[in-house]
Structures are given as structure tokens and as C-alpha cells.
Amino acid sequence: MRYLLLFFFVLIGSLCAYAQERDSIRLDSVAADTVLQDSIKLAQDTVKKESRKERRARERAEAEREKYYYKGIKKDSARLEIERLSRVAWKRSLIVPGWGQYTNQGLWWIKVPIIYGGLVTGYVVFDYWQWYYKKFLDEIAFRLEYGDTPNDPDLINWGNEGLVRQKDYARRNRDLTILVSVGWWGLNVIEAYVDSMLKNRWDIGRDMSMRIRPALMPTYAHGGYGLSGYGVAPGIKLTLNLK
């Protein structure tokens, strides 16, 4: 009986010690989580949020830096000047067609009339299709208002369905003319940029000479009866020198 009571007290003491150890571990984990959350909150509070103005200033600074570097390599003054001239050329052509070509010099006196010739042609074609579209549109509106009564003497023999088809056809061609004219304007901008890049980056010089003369060209003949061999034939030799 004595040993049984002693075993019982030892068991009770062990269970109490284990429970106390578990409580201490739980308290330590809670305290650690609290400390971690406090440190995270403190770090967030210490990091200053970037305002919109500061973000824009940072982006402008990064964009400005990209102008002077290419894949991490700093551009030299010649490269920067070439890029500046190219930007000036295409921006001027975007504002006034032909201005960039005049800035690049070269054959600008040929390019500028071609550019304006295309733009004037686009305006004349647009004006024609606009008049054509308005003519059929007014006739349709008149007939809808006065009960299929013809108004334009040129369109007396036209039916309502034909008038609608021609009106849509004229509108499509008018809109297509606008798109082509805008594309021509854009082509003028692209030409100014490309010509500036080619002129300033790749200069093959103006001293070019070409000479044409008769010559004997080597040939290889393969004939019948197993006869074959090398020979010569008259020809023309073209020599082009780029300096």
C-alpha cells in the first residue's frame, strides 16, 4: 500500500511538471509571434511610401538615364549626337511634311515635291468621293421625305437600292482615301528618320566609279562521248569601286 501511494504521488508530480512545461512553451511561442508582428509593423512604418510625384520623378530619371546607356554600356558623344539628329528629323517631318527631309539635306528638293504631290492627290481624291457620297445621300434623303420623288436630274433612273449601294461605296472609298493619306504622312516621317540614320551612321562616300570592259570568262564544258574540260568564253566584266 505504501509503494502504491508513492507511485501515485510520483505520477501526479510528473503530470504537473509536463503541463507546466507545455504552458511555458505556448507562452514562449505567443511571445515570439508578437515580437515578430511588432518588428514587421515597425519595418513597414519605417519604410516611407513613395508618393505619385516622387514616382514620376524617379521614372523620369530612369528614362533620362536610359538615353545615355545601351544595354548597360554608356554611349559616346558621337552616338548621342546621331540619335539627336535623327529625333529632330522625324519630329520635324511629323509637324510639317518635308521639313525633316530638308533638315537631312541630300535629295530633299526631289523628296519634298513627291511628298506634297501625294498629299495633294489624297485631298483631291477625298474631295471627289465626299462630293459623290453627298450627292447620293441628299438624293436618298429627298426621296424619303417626299415619297420616292426624284430630285437630282442625274439620278432620275436610279432606284433606291442602287442609291444606297453607291452611297456606301463612296463612303468606303472616302474613308480609304483618308487612311492612305495618313499612311503617306507616316511614311514621310519614317523616311526622314531612316535617311538620317543612314546618312550619319553609314557613309560610303561620294567617290564611286564604275568600269565596264570585255573579258574572257572561264567556263567548264561537258560534251558528248565523254569529252569535257575547262575553257573560256567572251563576256563583260563590271567593276564598281566604293571609296
Whether 83 and 197 map to the same domain: the answer is yes
171 φ, ψ to 5°? Answer: -65, -40
Q: Which three cell numbers stand for residue 142?
A: 429627298
44 lies in some domain? no
Whether 198 and 139 map to the same domain: the answer is yes
Whether 104 and 135 map to the same domain: the answer is yes
Whether 99 and 199 map to the same domain: the answer is yes
State the sign of the Cα–Cα–Cα–Cα dihedral 190, 196, 201, 206.
positive
Whether 147 and 103 map to the same domain: the answer is yes
pTM of the model: 0.58
Whether 183 and 198 map to the same domain: the answer is yes
Whether 216 and 167 map to the same domain: the answer is no
Whether 112 and 225 map to the same domain: the answer is no
Whether 117 and 217 map to the same domain: the answer is no
Whether 174 and 224 map to the same domain: the answer is no
Range of the domain at 236: 209-242
* Confidence at residue 14, expressed as pLDDT on a 0 to 100 scale: 59
92 lies in some domain? yes
150 lies in some domain? yes
How many domains are there within the chain?
2
> What is the residue-level pLDDT of the chain in tens, covering all 243 positions?
555 555 555 556 655 555 455 555 554 554 555 655 666 665 555 555 678 888 888 888 777 677 667 666 777 777 778 888 889 999 999 999 999 999 998 889 999 999 999 999 999 999 999 999 999 999 999 988 888 788 888 888 888 899 999 999 999 999 999 999 999 999 999 999 999 988 877 655 555 566 777 777 776 555 444 444 556 677 777 776 655
Whether 154 and 223 map to the same domain: the answer is no
3-state secondary structure the chain: CHHHHHHHHHHHHHHHHHHHHHHHHHHHHHHHHHHHHHHHHHHHHHCCCCCHHHHHHHHHHHHHHHHCEECCEECCHHHHHHHHHHHHHHHHHHHCCCHHHHHHCCCHHHHHHHHHHHHHHHHHHHHHHHHHHHHHHHHHHHHHHHCCCCCCHHHCCCCHHHHHHHHHHHHHHHHHHHHHHHHHHHHHHHHHHHHHHHHHHCCCCCCEEEEEEEEEEEEEEECCCCCEEEEEEEEEEEEEEEC
Whether 110 and 174 map to the same domain: the answer is yes
